[in-house]
């Protein structure tokens, strides 16, 4: 009986304490950020339940035709292979790896995450990303 209760408690607590998808331990900032995104995602869609690593990867790879430039853009355009360095499409500057497993300085500052989600989503999708899209993207990055 006691074991059973412990198991039940673990079942409910595990998703909060040990995100199972993660290869690299989530930074405290990323953890708090994800929790906020969960609340936002639920507001956007009351049937929301989980973020998806697969959907995060899909978003990273998906090409969006830019309405004015008439050219395909994706997150990959600049970030390239997420575990190695990328290159900014416009400025040519090197971008350090996106995956926290390859770059320990990733996702450690909330204002930075906010700034780049906003700027890059607008550049690629011509709109801001939804909370669901950001959450998918974040857990995908930590799964690499
Ligand atoms: C035009 C080039 C470009 C594209 C396309 C791009 N990024 Fe970025 N991204 C950058 C640059 C530059 C930085 C900031 C430099 C750095 O962090 O190395 C950055 C940083 C980020 C960060 C901040 C990570 C952190 O450490 O806090 C996030 C999140 C991010 N990008 C998400 C995305 C997403 C999502 C997409 C696709 C919708 C995307 N990026 C597409 C250039 C780009």
From ligand 1's centre to the CA of 120, what distance in Å? 6
| Mean pLDDT along residues 90-107 | 96
* Average pLDDT score over residue span 73-93: 97
pTM here is: 0.89
Tell me the CATH architecture of domain 22-143. Answer: Orthogonal Bundle (1.10)
Please list every protein residue whose CB sits less than 6 Å from any atom of ligand 1: 75, 77-79, 88-90, 95-96, 106-107, 112-113, 116-117, 120-121, 123-124, 137
d(Cα 81, Cα 74) in Å, to the nearest integer? Answer: 12
Q: Which residue has the higher pLDDT, 9 or 77?
A: 77
Residue 17 binned pLDDT confidence (cut-offs 50, 70, 90):
very low
Ligand 1 atom closest to Cα of residue 134:
35
Q: How far apart are CA 73 and CA 39, in angstroms?
A: 29
What is the band of 25 on the pLDDT scale with cuts at 50, 70, 90? confident
Distance, CA of 68 to CA of 115 (rounded, Å): 23
Ligand 1, pocket-test mutation among 120, 131, 134, most atoms within 8 A of CB: 120
pLDDT at 8: 54
């Amino acid at each position: 009986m006691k074991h059973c209760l412990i198991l039940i408690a673990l079942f409910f607590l595990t998703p909060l304490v040990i995100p199972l998808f993660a290869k690299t331990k989530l930074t405290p900032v990323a953890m708090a950020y994800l929790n906020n995104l969960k609340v936002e995602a639920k507001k956007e869609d009351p049937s929301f339940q989980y973020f998806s690593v697969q959907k995060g990867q899909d978003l990273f790879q998906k090409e969006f035709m830019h309405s004015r430039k008439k050219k395909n853009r994706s997150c990959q355009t600049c970030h390239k292979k997420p575990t190695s360095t990328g290159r900014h499409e416009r400025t040519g500057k090197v971008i350090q790896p996106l995956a926290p497993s390859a770059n320990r300085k990733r996702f450690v500052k909330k204002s930075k995450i906010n700034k780049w989600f906003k700027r890059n989503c607008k550049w690629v999708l011509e709109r801001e990303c939804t909370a669901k899209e950001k959450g998918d993207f974040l857990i995908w990055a930590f799964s690499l």
